[in-house]
Amino acid sequence: MSQPDRFFRKEQIVIFDFDGVLTDTMAEMLRFSDQVCAELGHPRRTTPQDIYGLPRMGFDQLARQLRIPESLIPQYVQKVLQCFDDQPITYSLYKGMREVILELAKDSVLAVVSGNLQRVIRRFLEKHQLAECFWRIEGIDQPGNKREKIQAIRQAISLAHPAYMIGDAVSDILAAREAGAHSIAVTWGHQDRQKLLEAQPDFIADRPQELLKIIRGDSSFRSS
């Protein structure tokens, strides 16, 4: 993939998760999950607590939490993602996130690595006129796990550049650590502050505006 030179003159790499970091899709997750469970003949009521407790964020893990038979999990995942693909974008950016993205884009290579579909993320960013800020968008429909995708982004830009992974789940923290990136856990997403702290992220943010301070070098947001 050829990329404009402007992305390679930046000072650091900042990678965002999508659901629970850029936007709140909890209501859609719950509704789509219930709809698909009913279609598969295993009606369930999905709750936020089902998502809060996941050991690894992903629709396959949510299916297991809901005790969907293992043989039906691929269909469950495909159908939930299809719901996201079929529905218009009605969810919004978290308050303050637009300003954070525009500011970071001035001196950072921005990317998204997510368990949602690439085209859903792109449509969302285009709707909010932010797609041009991002060098790469990696969805679940691209090969590789989250760690591998973070590593690939770092290698494509420069391993010498500081890299940050911003996520709302324990699995984001672990993937960042394994990929050699700094982890920033955000508390406005799908897992709570205490659960995130137990995974020992490098930094923790309670508001989007704090991301700028962390990436600009404010050590007061270190988690320990």
Write out pLDDT tens, residues 45-104: 999 999 888 878 889 999 999 999 999 999 999 999 999 999 999 999 999 999 999 999
**Residues found in the chain:** 224
What does the block give as tokens for 110?
Answer: 């921005």
Is pTM beyond 0.85? Reply is yes
Please give the full DSSP string across 204-218, using - where no structure is assigned.
EESSTHHHHHHHTT-
- Cβ–Cβ < 8 Å for 122, 20: no
> Is pLDDT at 215 greater than 60 in this prediction?
yes
The tens digit of pLDDT for each residue in 126-173 reads 999 999 999 999 999 999 999 999 999 999 998 889 999 999 999 999
Res 52: pLDDT: 87
Can you tell me the distance from the alpha carbon of 130 to that of 101, in angstroms, rounded to the nearest whole number? 8
> Is pLDDT at 8 greater than 60 in this prediction?
no
Residue 64 makes CB contacts below 8 A (sequence gap 6+) with 70, 73
Res 186: pLDDT: 97
Res 27: pLDDT: 93
Res 84: pLDDT: 95
Per-residue pLDDT, averaged over 99-111, amounts to 95
Confidence of residue 218 (pLDDT cuts 50, 70, 90): low
Res 10: pLDDT: 66
Residue 166 makes CB contacts below 8 A (sequence gap 6+) with 14, 15, 16, 17, 21, 172, 184, 186, 205, 211
